Amino acid sequence: MQFLVHYSLHFIFPAIVAYSFFRKNWVKVYLILLSTMLIDLDHLLANPIFEADRCSIGFHPLHSFFAIVLYVLLLFYPKKIIKIIALGLVLHIFTDLLDCFWTFSHCHDCFMASKIHDLFSFLNF
């Protein structure tokens, strides 16, 4: 079920967003939103490249907390194409974050090993 939800949010939800908010150019916007999944190329820098219960948030460079803040700030950039790219990046991060929390719900050690845990500890949550 987690796999289905994760990939639906990566592929179907952006289509719904594109069609709902950019109806005139929804296909073009959808393709731009899909292209933002290229941030997952940073997974190739990890060793091992894939680890089933690893949370990508805070672990991979383009999924770092600094990068996430940048993506959110880019939502307010005046140029429309930049806003659409930022929206795609934020939706991607949101999807990955949900996936992390889903994993944490059945793997406490995964949470303890995550950068999210480190952030929560730093912020005294």
Tell me: the pLDDT tens digits for 42-98? 999 999 888 889 999 999 999 999 999 999 999 999 999 999 999 999 999 999 999
Identify residue 94 by its one-letter amino acid code: F
CB 38 within 8 A of CB 96: no
Over the stretch 10-36, which tens digit does the pLDDT of each residue have? 999 999 999 999 999 999 999 999 999
The tokens describing 110, both together, are 């995964």
Q: Model pTM?
A: 0.93
**Would you put residue 58 in left (φ > 0), alpha (ψ -120 to 50) or beta?**
left
